Amino acid sequence: MEYISLVNLIMDKEVVKELIQSELNSENLAHELKKILEGPQREAILKNYDTLTQILGGDGASKKAATLIVENL
């Protein structure tokens, strides 16, 4: 399955619903936001984001990447 969301691409699974073109409407948006804000799916999303943080190198990943780029110029 292919994704367009960076989170989903990195995790190679659907962490967050991608509402594309006609799927992006007020009903679907409200439904997906509710999942993010409350309930058991919220916990799963947060757990996946914790895993993503580890994959990306933890806190400060952007600074680490920038430092590596500058050092290799």
Q: For tokens 């073109």, name the residue.
A: 21
Which residues, 6+ apart, have CB-to-CB distance to 28 below 8 Å? 17, 19
21 φψ region: left (φ > 0), alpha (ψ -120 to 50), beta (else) = left
Model pLDDT, residue 66: 87
Identify the residue whose tokens are 């590596």.
68
What is the value of pTM for the model shown?
0.72
Domain boundaries along the sequence of the chain: 6-71
Q: Is the pLDDT of residue 59 over 80?
A: no
Mean pLDDT of 1-25: 93
Count Cβ atoms below 10 Å from residue 57 Cβ, excluding itself.
12
Cα distance between residue 43 and residue 59, in whole Å: 20
SS3 (DSSP) at 60: coil
Taking residues 13-34, report their average pLDDT. 95
